A and B are shown apart, each in its own frame.
Chain A
Amino acid sequence: MKPVFLVDDSATMLASMASLLGQAGQTVEKAASAEEALAKLKATPPLRAIITDYHMPGMTGAALVREVRKLAPYRFLPILLLTTESDQAKRDEARAAGATGWLVKPVEGEKLLAVLRQVAPA
């Protein structure tokens, strides 16, 4: 199964999401910022999806989506925003950037897995 790329500046989020997905048999790659994610994407094997935070030091999650969409291998890769942000304007910005979905924390584990299965069948 292709790995899911987790991008979040919260160590807790990276660890808990990695464990949650790992419990479901899903492998993960991790980055603590959008910049680190972009650097790692070049050396990362084909991905199942990207799950990224919106608010991070430096580049936002929406900006990351824009940059990822410029990379040919990831033009149609499912990218989910998992964020505390509830502002509609930022949600619209992510949609315009090419994000696949928007999830407001906290999201129940089973719902997160269900969304992942829906947008990126294994």
Chain B
Amino acid sequence: MPFDAPVGGAAPAARKRRLLLCCALAGVALSLGATWAVRALLGQGIVADLAGAAGFALALAPLARRDAGRPAVPTPLPAPALAMPDAPTEPWTEDAQDVAADVAAELDRYREVAEILRRQVQGAVAETEAAALELVGRMDAVDGGMRALRQVLVTAQQDAGALTAAGSGEVGAMRGAVATLRTRLLARTAQIRDDHEIYRRISSEAEDFAAAVSEIGRIASQTKLLALNATIEAARAGEAGKGFAVVAGEVRTLAGEAARVAEGVAQGLGRLREVTRLRLSDALDTEAEDRLLTDAAHQAEAAEHAFGRLADNASGALVALEASGEAVAGHVAQALAGAQFQDIVRQRLQQVSRDMERLGLHAAWLAEALRELRAVEPVQSAILDPMQDAYVMDRQRVAHGDAAPRGAPAIELF
């Protein structure tokens, strides 16, 4: 039943009940509408605040106290958007007029309530925007960190590669030098073995020669003794033995000379044997040199392998980081794209904010109509239709009560 129907024929009590019922229904609609809209948008703490504020509005609606001195609406209301015909005026009872005035005063306060709710919603919008921008900043930092880390590993891999290449060159040169040294050592060893055989033969000949020299010495000594005996016998022979004595003396001199020569030869042979022994000892040291060269070659190979492992490790770390980096980049991209939800929520909350303002205006207009017994604009045309016309998202339309979304593709290239 429209609120602008004639009411003159009704009894005062019935009329009062109808007034109260209408105002209470308007209050319920305003409060539940605001609460539902915000609750549908956010599952956060601000819902409780907004719902509490809406509950406060709900509590105001059925009030019909006769207290005087209500606070006035802070700002003048704009003129109603629609020109409605005046309702037939008939004299009200004094009680009905008082109740109507009280209800109108309470309805005036709905604009204040709506403004509080609007500020709450705007605050929520600002907070979500700040949080989203913070998130974007942190995602940028994560992406920047990954890029920096990757650059560090790329540089490390390049350095390791260069080091490996340089090290391999040096190791190769070292191995070449070792091979050359080994070749020379082998040649030297063969030469020394030949020399060793020669020295051994010299030593053997020297031994034999020393024995012969020793025999010569012994013969010289016996010759010297015989010469002495001959000198004695020559002396015993008298004048006839004088010539023989001269010969015996010469023989003794020659035997002594031969003994000294044999002694000198024996000493020379001794020195020769000592030199030969030292040369044979030198030949044995070449095996130690060969072992040193082999160790050097092994160390060069180990260094080359170490360089290779270093490069492989850096390369492996880079590959692992590339894989992780791609995964992180994907998550970062998704998180950045997810910031679009803040824009979606912002737009829905801003529309709720505008609708709350519209609710407040309509409540004030209801109050004015009540005071002046004017016809009212229906909620449908004053609030619901403009709300519906302002929707931009399918989800808004579905939440409003549309049966199904429009179904257009999310991405369309013309």
- A residues with a Cβ closer than 8 A to B are 8, 10-13, 15-17, 19-20, 22-23, 55, 83-88, 91, 95, 99-112, 115, 118-119
Contacts and interface: CB of A to CB of B under 8 A. Distances in A.
Interface string B309-344: 000000000000000000001101110111111111
Given A23-B329, A84-B343, A103-B410, 13 more contacts: A20-B336, A22-B140, A83-B392, A86-B406, A88-B406, A102-B411, A103-B411, A106-B340, A106-B344, A107-B340, A109-B334, A109-B336, A110-B330
12 contacts: A10-B342, A12-B129, A23-B329, A84-B392, A86-B394, A88-B408, A102-B412, A103-B410, A103-B411, A103-B412, A104-B411, A106-B344
B225 interface: no
Contacts of A23: 143, 329, 332-333, 336
Given A23-B143, A84-B347, A104 B410 contact: yes
A42 B337 CA distance: 29
A12 B133 contact: yes
A107 B344 contact: no
Contacts of B413: 100-101, 115, 118-119
A95 B340 CA distance: 23
A105 to B, nearest CB: 5
Contacts of B139: 19
A102 B337 CA distance: 16
Residue among B143, B339, B394 with the highest chain A CB neighbour number at 10 A = B339
Contact of A107 (B133, B347, B411): B411
A16 to B, nearest CB: 4
B25 interface: no
A12 B136 contact: yes
B347 A101 contact: no
Contacts of A106: 337-338, 340-341, 344
Contacts of A10: 129, 342-343, 346
A7 to B, nearest CB: 13
Interface in B333-386: 333-334, 336-344, 346-347
B65 to A, nearest CB: 44
B132 interface: yes
A108 B343 contact: no
B405 A86 contact: yes
B393 interface: yes
Contact of B343 (A12, A22, A111): A12
A107 B339 contact: no
B97 to A, nearest CB: 46
Interface string B134-175: 001101100100000000000000000000000000000000
B329 to A, nearest CB: 6
A20 B412 contact: no
A11 B347 contact: no
Contacts of B341: 106
Contact of B392 (A87, A95, A101, A109): A87
A15 B339 contact: yes
Interface of B: 129, 132-133, 136-137, 139-140, 143, 329-330, 332-334, 336-344, 346-347, 392-394, 405-406, 408, 410-414
B227 to A, nearest CB: 119
Nearest to A119: B413
Q: Ordered nearest first, which 6 A-B pairs have the shortest CB separation?
A: A16-B339, A109-B333, A109-B337, A106-B340, A101-B413, A12-B132
Contacts of B136: 12, 15-16, 19
Contact of B410 (A8, A19, A107): A107
Contacts of A118: 413
A11 B131 CA distance: 12
A55 B332 CA distance: 27
Nearest to A106: B340
Contacts of B347: 55, 84
Contacts of B329: 23
B412 A16 contact: no
B414 A99 contact: yes
B133 A15 contact: yes
A104 to B, nearest CB: 4
B361 to A, nearest CB: 21
B129 A11 contact: yes
A12 B333 CA distance: 14
Contacts of B132: 12, 16
A104 B392 CA distance: 10
A103 B347 CA distance: 16
Given A11-B133, A15-B133, A55-B347, A101 B340 contact: no
